[in-house]
Amino acid sequence: MLAERPLREQNGRGKFNLLNARTRKFLSYYKPYQRLFWADMACAFVVSVTTLLIPLGANAITKNILAGSGPDTLTQIYGMGAIMLGLILIHTLGNMFVAYQGHMMGAMMEHDMRRELFDHYQKLSFGFYDEQKVGQLMTRLTNDSFDLAELFHHGPEDIVISLLNFVGAFAILISINARLALTIFLFLPIMAVYAFHFNKKMKAALRRSHDRIGDINSQVEDTLSGIRVVKSFTNETVEAEKFAGENGRFLASRRDTYRSETYFYEGLMAFTQLMTVAVIVFGGISIVKSSLDLPELITFLLCVGILIEPIRRYGNFTRLYQEGVAGFTRFMEVLEVQPDIQDADNAVELDQVKGTITFRNVSFRYRNDSGYVFHNLSLAIKAGEFVALVGSSGIGKTTLCSLIPRFYEVNDGEVLLDGTNIKTIRLDSLRRSIGLVQQDVYLFAGTVVDNIRYGKLDASEAEIVAAAKKANAHGFIMALPDGYNTDIGQRGVKLSGGQKQRLSIARVFLKNPPVLIFDEATGALDNESEQAIRDSLEVLARNRTTIVIAHRLSTVRNAQRIIVLTEEGIDEQGTHEELVARGGTYASLYNMQLSL
């Protein structure tokens, strides 16, 4: 099983699997569209056969013309003309089906893949996203799968049409004049070697260009997400330079791609033209030597035209195939990442959670190559207790709290909720029991009411308003232009930090979980917000286990127990008075804040 690790790392060993597991996966996307697929193939077959029949008709007509101009001959020419017209009609209909339904089939398969990847993205855990760039992940979902849609239907069509045309044209040529046919077939091995060589170059170049477009997306995503910081530091030029770097690398990769594509395509085209010249020259010689007649030469030339078509299609197919494989590889790299935090097979559902939280000898580090944030930490929090977590910045307060909803897996020891190891609790059940107010609140695009309702999707209007009132948010919401229906824009930029935090408190009121984790905003809140948040926290904390990562004296003082974290783990715990009297770490932190 692949664990969640940087994607590149897995890439190396995934490479050779391409022919088995990944190919099977690739083929599985055809399954729901089998009937459409076979209809598409049948049409491709019809297209190919009609293509071959047309030169035979031309052969018959020219033979008749040369034979003389009796009334019989004219009727035959009319007849052949009518048949050819019919063939063209069938040919066109077949082509139309392939062009429309074939493309739709590809698009539907792409749609299925996208859904699968999106679902997968939602399963991957925090650890995965810590390592990934959103832009790259977006590219995999959008660009890469589109390349595949093309391959999905053009691939099989091209194979069918090319193979049939090739074999058919070859048979016709041999039957007309074997020696001339073999002459032009001498070109084929040379062309194969040539194609193989540039094919390999094309493949490598395409892979690079896929990665580079992902880099561009990451860069844009980064700059635009931080556009406010960029502007406030007037660092637009720095960002432009970073972008120019990515953009330039992408251009270079496109250059490589086009170069190899040009050699590949145009080289093959030149060979096919050489074939035509060879036919005319050797055909002419044969006519002079009377081993070939004119209608045969015309048919021959038409067939060489048909022979060129599969070669062109082969070139096209190769490009599609390379792009598709590059896209599919990138797609599978993510899809093959197993979420490292999943329900255990026998995971249990917890109901009536009381909210006892126990850390038993917990050790944790973010990565195998980084230092431990906690070593052998033990802590017991009673149901309904109000605990404040204090300690200097970067000491691990947020980390400690993110272990409870199992955002990260402990390396050693266990975390228990109501005495049950959280590893054996179903994730949805566990996370439903925990309410989280984060330091920087994320608000989704949409209205105020949508964002509050996120805490309980089936909440009524009345419940939402009640929650907002309890969160002390009702007042400012009503002052917004459209009240609860105000569109707050992406990331809630139109609200202040304190207002956003109050919305997120309202969400948790709606959710009404037995356990609350509250990461107090570190930044200075306006006085009104601070007072409002403190009051609503007090209400919110009633009848549930509450852990507050506290930065304000007012919050700390209200706590039943204060836990002081230092490098060594839990340094001391007790009430405010006890800890001040003890004269330890907390007392000095407290005195420092007082003096501010």
Binding site for ligand ADP (CB under 6 A): 130, 366, 373, 391, 393-399
Q: Nearest distance from residue 369's CB to ligand ADP, in Å?
A: 11
Q: Nearest distance from residue 127's CB to ligand ADP, in Å?
A: 8
Nearer to Mg ion (CB atom), residue 235 or residue 398 = 398
Q: Nearest distance from residue 128's CB to ligand ADP, in Å?
A: 11
- The partner in contact with residue 366, picked from Mg ion, ligand ADP, none with C-beta cut-offs of 5 to 8 angstroms by kind, is ligand ADP
Return the SS3 of 436. strand
Using CA atoms, how far apart are residues 532 and 473, in angstroms rounded to an integer? 8
The backbone region for 446, taken as left when phi is positive above 0, alpha when psi lies in -120 to 50, beta otherwise, is left
- The partner in contact with residue 350, picked from Mg ion, ligand ADP, none with C-beta cut-offs of 5 to 8 angstroms by kind, is none
Which of 90-98, 395-403, 447-455, 457-465 is the region at the interface with Mg ion (rule: CB under 5 A)? Answer: 395-403
Through-space distance between the first and last CA atoms of the chain, rounded to whole angstroms: 53
Helix, strand, coil percentages, rounded to 5, for the chain:
70, 10, 20
**What is the biggest distance separating any 2 CA atoms in the chain, rounded to whole angstroms?**
125
Rule CB under 5 A: say whether 398 interacts with Mg ion: yes
CA dist list (Å): 308 to 191, 199, 275, 363, 541: 12, 18, 9, 67, 77
Nearer to ligand ADP (CB atom), residue 398 or residue 573 = 398
Q: Nearest distance from residue 158's CB to ligand ADP, in Å?
A: 46
- The partner in contact with residue 411, picked from ligand ADP, Mg ion, none with C-beta cut-offs of 5 to 8 angstroms by kind, is none
- The partner in contact with residue 97, picked from Mg ion, ligand ADP, none with C-beta cut-offs of 5 to 8 angstroms by kind, is none
CB contact at 8 A, 548 and 389: yes
- The partner in contact with residue 407, picked from Mg ion, ligand ADP, none with C-beta cut-offs of 5 to 8 angstroms by kind, is none
- The partner in contact with residue 379, picked from ligand ADP, Mg ion, none with C-beta cut-offs of 5 to 8 angstroms by kind, is none
Nearer to ligand ADP (CB atom), residue 154 or residue 397 = 397
- Closest CA relative to residue 592, chosen from 574, 580, 582: 580
- The partner in contact with residue 373, picked from Mg ion, ligand ADP, none with C-beta cut-offs of 5 to 8 angstroms by kind, is ligand ADP
Which of 257-265, 291-299, 360-368, 390-398 is the region at the interface with Mg ion (rule: CB under 5 A)? Answer: 390-398
Nearer to ligand ADP (CB atom), residue 134 or residue 285 = 134
- The partner in contact with residue 394, picked from Mg ion, ligand ADP, none with C-beta cut-offs of 5 to 8 angstroms by kind, is ligand ADP
Q: Nearest distance from residue 523's CB to ligand ADP, in Å?
A: 13
Q: Nearest distance from residue 372's CB to ligand ADP, in Å?
A: 10
Q: Nearest distance from residue 408's CB to Mg ion, in Å?
A: 14
Q: What is the DSSP string of 29-78?
A: TTGGGHHHHHHHHHHHHHHHHHHHHHHHHHHHHHHHHHH---HHHHHHHH
Nearer to ligand ADP (CB atom), residue 183 or residue 398 = 398
Nearer to ligand ADP (CB atom), residue 145 or residue 501 = 501
Nearer to ligand ADP (CB atom), residue 199 or residue 438 = 438
Q: Nearest distance from residue 395's CB to Mg ion, in Å?
A: 9
- The partner in contact with residue 393, picked from ligand ADP, Mg ion, none with C-beta cut-offs of 5 to 8 angstroms by kind, is ligand ADP
Q: Please give the structure tokens belonging to residue 549.
A: 């990562």
For residue 570, the cross-strand partners are 565
Q: Nearest distance from residue 397's CB to Mg ion, in Å?
A: 5
Q: Nearest distance from residue 482's CB to ligand ADP, in Å?
A: 36
Which of 62-70, 105-113, 211-219, 397-405 is the region at the interface with Mg ion (rule: CB under 5 A)? Answer: 397-405
Using CA atoms, how far apart are residues 162 and 123, in angstroms rounded to an integer? 42
Nearer to ligand ADP (CB atom), residue 130 or residue 349 = 130
CB contact at 8 A, 4 and 340: yes
The backbone region for 513, taken as left when phi is positive above 0, alpha when psi lies in -120 to 50, beta otherwise, is beta
Nearer to Mg ion (CB atom), residue 176 or residue 434 = 434
Using CA atoms, how far apart are residues 110 and 103, in angstroms rounded to an integer? 10
Cβ-proximal residues to 514 (8 Å cutoff; 6+ apart), any chain: 353, 354, 355, 383, 433, 544, 545
Q: Please give the structure tokens belonging to residue 590.
A: 């407290």
Nearer to ligand ADP (CB atom), residue 300 or residue 408 = 408
- The partner in contact with residue 135, picked from Mg ion, ligand ADP, none with C-beta cut-offs of 5 to 8 angstroms by kind, is none
Nearer to Mg ion (CB atom), residue 275 or residue 565 = 565
CB burial of residue 293 (10 Å; 0-12, 13-18, 19+): middle
For residue 517, the cross-strand partners are 436, 547
Which H or E run contains 270?
helix 236-288
Nearer to ligand ADP (CB atom), residue 399 or residue 421 = 399
Which of 12-20, 119-127, 394-402, 504-512 is the region at the interface with Mg ion (rule: CB under 5 A)? Answer: 394-402
- Closest CA relative to residue 348, chosen from 417, 276, 267: 417
- The partner in contact with residue 396, picked from Mg ion, ligand ADP, none with C-beta cut-offs of 5 to 8 angstroms by kind, is ligand ADP
3-state SS, one letter per residue, for 467-535? HHHHCCCHHHHHHCCCHHHCECCHHHCCCCHHHHHHHHHHHHHHHCCCEEEEECCCCCCCHHHHHHHHH
From the DSSP assignment, how many helices (H) and strands (E) are in the chain? Answer: 23, 10
CA dihedral sign, ordered 70, 73, 79, 85: negative
- The partner in contact with residue 34, picked from Mg ion, ligand ADP, none with C-beta cut-offs of 5 to 8 angstroms by kind, is none
Rule CB under 5 A: say whether 399 interacts with Mg ion: no
Please give the residue ranges that form the binding site for Mg ion (CB under 5 A): 398
